[in-house]
Amino acid sequence: MGRSILVVGGGIGGMAAALALHRAGQAVELIESDPAWNALGAGLTLNGGALRAFADLGMLEPVLEAGFASVGPVRACDADGNVLSQGASTPMFGEGIPNMGGILRPRLHGVMRRAIEAAGIKVRTGLSAESYAEAEDHIRVTASDGASAEHRFVVAADGLFSRTRAALFPDLPGPAFTGQGCWRAVVSRPADVTATWVYSAQYAKAGFNPISQDLMYLYLLESAPGNPWIDAADWLPLLKERLSRFGGHFRAIVEELSEQSLINYRPLESILMPRPWHKGRVLIVGDAAHATTPHIGYGAGMAIEDAVVLGQMVGRYEGTAALFTDFTQRRFERCRTILEGSVAIGQMEMDDAPFADQRALSASLGAAIREPI
């Protein structure tokens, strides 16, 4: 089988890349800097495009079993919970693929980790890639423990604050703050919440999405001028206060929120690497290349799509330069459209743009996501 491909990063994008390459008949290894290889965060919205990509990886069934397949349309509401519009209920991503779903991040991590282990992919944790030495037909990677090994090429999926991107492209600017912050938490799912609900208010948007039979994931997007630091000790009272402006289900949500609700707050940052996405035998993918905002729930989807496309292409090329160039050519415009559109929705929220204009942009991005990858 020859030299292995090294995947750097054991998050969603890295595990998806390792699985896709393995399915394509490639020898793969993965390293992850977290010794415990844990998943952080609360819930995750899975757009139908992301579920389609999981289907391409042969993982749709276990993902849906661990999460929730939405039933019924997405509902867009005003701040009081009055429904203003509804999305389509008919399948849009192919037979057997829900239009929307959700899952707890640790559960998705567990599903993907078990798939990695079942595939026999070698994983080393507590390690990062420290240096790369290019040769004519391979790349030598030295890890943080001092050990080095030769690989066919490297797939860097080490996230928004990618050390690989910073090391290989030192002149590129880092992630940029978009002007918004995002609150997330997990609460009980009422029986009538079987799909996503979105509430719009002035300069803010909140919503929730089922992630299991008994839980749902909620979020609040708000303007955050100056990107203030918010101490974790203040998250619970501040989130309660901020959600109190919303009616409908949010009245019960505010009462339920507690220290056990997996509350977190993060400023929203994004980055889109210009082409090329590679240097030598190292390819940058996922959030490391194109980290977006959560406005259309497609950051993970783009990373999984990267993996699917790389798996489709890898066996057709002998050299890495053409493979990486053609991969980026196939992915760049799609990722740019989704990323820039998602950031634009956030800007419209901060500008308090008309609801109809925001929905129109969301609909156009939904159509883009439905296009084949």
* Residue whose C-alpha is closest to residue 190's, from 37, 351, 347, 81: 81
Cα distance between residue 99 and residue 370, in whole Å: 10
> Which tokens belong to 50?
């992301």
Question: Which residue's structure tokens are 């990486």?
Answer: 324
The number of residues in the chain equals: 373
For 219, the token pair is 């979020």
The CA distance from 93 to 47, in Å, is 10
Q: Which helix (H) or strand (E) holds 224?
A: none
Average pLDDT of the segment spanning 176-192 = 97
Preceding omega of 274 cis (within 30 degrees of 0)? no
User: pLDDT tens digit string along 302-359?
Assistant: 999 999 999 999 999 999 999 999 999 999 999 999 999 999 999 999 999 998 899 8
pLDDT in tens, 116-153: 999 999 999 999 999 999 999 999 999 999 999 999 99
Q: Is pLDDT at 200 greater than 70 in this prediction? A: yes
Cα–Cα distance list, 192 to 80, 186, 217 (Å):
17, 17, 15
Find all residues with CB under 8 Å of 91, minimum gap 6, and list them.
97, 98, 99
Mean pLDDT value across residues 65-92: 92
Give residue for tokens 């509401």: 77
- Angle (CA) 15 319 52, round 5°: 35
pLDDT tens for each residue of 30-54: 999 999 999 877 899 999 999 999 9
- Domain segments of the chain: what residues? 5-68+101-174+269-352
Instruction: Provide DSSP, 292-327.
Output: --GGGS-HHHHHHHHHHHHHHHGGG-SSHHHHHHHH
Instruction: Give the C-alpha separation, 309 to 287, whole Å.
Output: 16
CA 36, chain centre distance (Å): 21
- CA contacts within 13 A on the Cβ side of 110: 10
For residue 180, give every residue at least 6 positions away whose Cβ sits within 8 Å of its Cβ, in sequence order, or none: 221, 222, 223, 224, 267, 268, 293, 346, 349, 350
Residue pair 43/209 in contact (Cβ under 8 Å)? The answer is yes
Please report the pLDDT score of residue 41 as a whole number.
79
Asked if pLDDT for residue 1 goes beyond 70, the answer is no
Q: Which CATH architecture has domain 5-68+101-174+269-352?
A: 3-Layer(bba) Sandwich (3.50)
